[in-house]
């Protein structure tokens, strides 16, 4: 005798359930896509680019330059802010006004990120350096530059300095560096004899799992899921109120996440390129690292930061910012002050 439940799964009941689930899924996807499309139009109206779009050959990068040698307040080297992966120029909202007090400051979005247009492909670190140089020239921002690189942005900054050493006056690195595929953080050519700093066991597996999630981010953004997640995650809550909505808007587009996915996929190569360039000789360098969470990964990053400062320059300094985590180094008001002071130190040292 066949039970009623078994008969249902073999009969029209299961077919109606599958059809209903499919219709519901289509309705949710359509609603999400419509929500994303309407919100994107609103974003373009309410949150236009903070700076200007500069042609770099086939597409335009968003570059925001404020302060100048002629405004009575800025002097010395122009400061160029290089964001970490997935973070837009709006993420420097606390740091920027502090630097404006003593220097010209430039934040920008790499190809496809934030307000920048997509190119034919997302460039590697060397290509990104070439595009940044073209954008700075197009905007009339002349060197020498003090480069400030956060997270993977530190690798991009090191590559720029390696390609154009005569145009770089100094550097500030914030929790910069990445392990190679063997799980070792290495300075590279600047310290060829260094054995590097191993990260704790299991770290690379966690990194790989996190990286795999980025594969689906553009699709999630297309259906509004990223926009909803940003609204409720608190990811931008430490930024000033004026920057929170702008940051969420620019980070909600599929275009942004296509570029982020490509940068994440190329992060190993960016780290390799950074290790292949030399140091800065006697030019001032300050490396700042996070203090929390208290973990083996944090201790490894701090140890690498100390090695990086000593290896990149004979005038290299290393400090840990008390209470700071990886993201709050830039996004937190108090920690941004520590970053700005490090930048001031390098600007004055470069002068």
Which pLDDT band holds residue 288 (cuts at 50, 70, 90)?
very high
Which of 70-79, 133-142, 174-183 is least confident? 70-79
How many residues in the chain? 351
Q: What is the pLDDT of residue 70?
A: 36
Confidence (pTM): 0.89
pLDDT at 36 over 80: no
How confident is the model over 177-210, as pLDDT tens digits?
888 888 888 887 555 566 789 888 888 888 888 8
Report whether pLDDT(10) > 80: no
Res. 22: pLDDT tops 70: no
Of 8-22, 242-256, 296-310, the range with the highest mean pLDDT is 296-310
The lowest-confidence range among 101-110, 149-158, 231-240, 295-304 is 231-240
Kindly report which listed range (31-40, 163-172, 300-309, 324-333) carries the lowest average pLDDT score: 31-40
How far apart are alpha carbons 66 and 87 in whole angstroms?
20
Crossing angle of the two packed helices 152-163 and 267-275, in degrees rounded to 10: 40
pLDDT digit string (tens) for 241-285? 888 988 888 888 999 999 999 999 888 889 889 988 888 999 999
- Structure token pair of residue 344: 């001031």
Is the pLDDT at 170 greater than 50, yes or no?
yes
How much is the pLDDT for 74?
46
Position 15 scores a pLDDT of 65
Element (H, E) at 233: helix 225-233
pLDDT digits (tens, 9 = 90+) for 310-330: 999 999 999 999 999 999 999
Specify the pLDDT at position 71. Answer: 40
Percentage of the chain exceeding pLDDT 90 = 54
Ramachandran region of residue 322, left (φ > 0), alpha (ψ -120 to 50) or beta? beta
SS3 348: helix
Tokens representing 64 are 């925001």
198 DSSP β-pair partners:
184
Residue 33 has pLDDT above 60, yes or no: yes
Interior/surface letters 275-309, b for 16+ CB within 10 angstroms, e for the rest = bebebbeebbbbbbbbbeeeeebbebbbbbbbbbb
**Whole-number pLDDT of residue 283:** 97
Q: Which two tokens stand for residue 189?
A: 């050519």
Element housing 316 (H / E): strand 316-320
Rounded to whole angstroms, the Cα distance separating 174 from 196 reads: 18
Q: Which residues contact 76 (CB under 8 A, 6 or more apart)?
A: 103, 169, 347, 348, 350, 351
Question: What strands lie across the sheet with 145-150, from one edge to the other?
Answer: 52-55, 60-66, 105-108, 78-82, 145-150, 168-174, 285-289, 316-320
Average pLDDT score over the chain: 87
Q: What is the mean pLDDT of residues 49-71?
A: 86
Q: Residue 29 — pLDDT band, cuts 50, 70, 90?
A: low
Percent of the chain with pLDDT over 70: 85
Task: Please choose, from the candidates 240, 259, 332, 276, the residue with its C-alpha nearest in 3D space to the C-alpha of residue 85.
Answer: 259
Reply yes or no on whether the pLDDT at 87 is more than 60: yes
Provide the 3-class DSSP secondary structure of residue 114.
Answer: coil
User: What does 130-198 look like in DSSP terms, one character per residue?
Assistant: HHHHHHHHHTT--S-EEEEEETHHHHHHHHHHHH-GGGEEEEEEES-----TTSEE---TTSTT---EE
Region 334-348: mean pLDDT is 96
User: In this structure, what token pair is assigned to residue 330?
Assistant: 């830039």
């Amino acid at each position: 005798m066949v039970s009623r439940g078994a008969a249902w799964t073999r009969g029209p009941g299961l077919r109606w359930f599958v059809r209903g689930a499919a219709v519901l899924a289509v309705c949710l996807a359509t609603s999400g896509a419509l929500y994303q499309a309407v919100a994107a139009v609103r974003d373009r109206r309410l949150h236009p680019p903070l700076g200007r779009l500069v042609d770099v050959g086939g597409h335009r990068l968003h570059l925001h330059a404020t302060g100048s040698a002629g405004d009575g307040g800025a002097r010395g080297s122009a400061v160029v802010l290089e964001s970490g992966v997935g973070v837009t120029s709006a993420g420097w909202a606390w740091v920027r006004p502090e630097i404006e007090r003593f220097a010209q400051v430039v934040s920008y979005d790499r190809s496809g990120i934030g307000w920048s247009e997509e190119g034919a492909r997302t460039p590697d670190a060397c290509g990104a350096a070439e595009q940044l140089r073209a954008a700075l020239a197009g905007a009339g921002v002349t060197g020498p530059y003090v480069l400030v690189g956060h997270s993977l942005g530190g690798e991009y900054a090191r590559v720029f300095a390696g390609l154009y050493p005569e145009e770089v006056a100094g550097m500030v690195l914030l929790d910069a560096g990445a392990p190679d595929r063997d799980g070792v953080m290495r300075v590279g050519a600047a310290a060829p004899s260094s054995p590097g700093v191993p990260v704790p066991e299991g770290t690379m597996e966690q990194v790989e799992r996190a990286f795999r999630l980025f594969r689906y981010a553009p699709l999630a953004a297309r259906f509004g899921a990223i926009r909803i997640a940003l609204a409720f995650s608190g990811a931008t809550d430490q930024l000033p109120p004026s920057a929170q909505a702008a940051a969420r808007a620019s980070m909600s587009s599929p275009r942004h996440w296509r570029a982020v996915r490509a940068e994440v996929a190329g992060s190993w190569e960016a780290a390799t390129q950074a290790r292949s360039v030399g140091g800065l000789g006697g030019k001032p360098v300050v490396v700042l690292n996070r203090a929390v969470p208290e973990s083996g990964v944090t201790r490894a990053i701090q140890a690498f930061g100390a090695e990086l400062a000593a290896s990149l320059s004979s005038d290299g300094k290393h400090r840990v910012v008390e209470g700071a985590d990886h993201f709050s180094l830039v996004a937190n008001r108090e920690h941004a002050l520590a970053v700005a002071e490090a930048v001031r130190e390098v600007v004055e040292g470069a002068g």
